Chains A and B, each alone.
Chain A
């Protein structure tokens, strides 16, 4: 089985007036839930312990807060926001969709965050910040 070549993405400058100082690794990703699909730009964040979904993005996916019953405790500066677990399908580029578990938060102060659990468990990522790009490829399955 051949490993597909990695998808290459450019860093995005959040504030053009600050130039590269504001560049962050945002990746385009399609999220699917309950037959609905939306495309978002998500922050690939190796410092985040988990994936985070802002409240409005969950609503756009058709998720209903009351139906997601598993509470998730957050940290960082969104620790005060209530969050619940939700599993969606995520598709990056031409790679096969994978199941991604998100902490769906009541907050809209955050971007979509792709963190260690479980985005970094599904994909291998190489950051080349000095050259303002990063690469993503599906993890290699152990044992073939």
Chain B
């Protein structure tokens, strides 16, 4: 299918779907170029307990106590 065949159908899309098509195509192009892209609707959980310093100190104390026992 050629672009000229697709264009009429694309023009008929509602605004939200036009935007979605733009995002998908941009992601496709970036991926083909080797970029590591974040998909616009992807889920990227971050689990890291990045500020659990008190907890880390507790674990160190438990290790020390177990080692001494």
Interface residues of A (CB under 8 A from B): 15, 18-21, 43, 45, 47-52, 70-79, 83, 85, 87, 99, 101-103, 109-111, 113, 115-118
Tell me which residues across on chain B come within 8 A of A118, comparing CB atoms: 59-60, 63
**A-B residue pair count with CB separations less than 8 angstroms:** 104
The interface residues of chain A, by DSSP majority, are classed as mixed
- Does the CB pair B36–A20 fall under 8 Å? yes
Identify which of residues 34-49 in chain B touch chain A, using a CB-to-CB cut-off of 8 Å. 36-39, 42, 45-49
- B29 beta carbon closer than 8 Å to chain A: no
Q: How large is the interface on B (under 10, 10 to 19, 20 to 34, 35 or more residues)?
A: 20 to 34
Closest to B31 in A: A19
Interface residues of B (CB under 8 A from A): 31, 36-39, 42, 45-56, 58-60, 62-63, 66-67
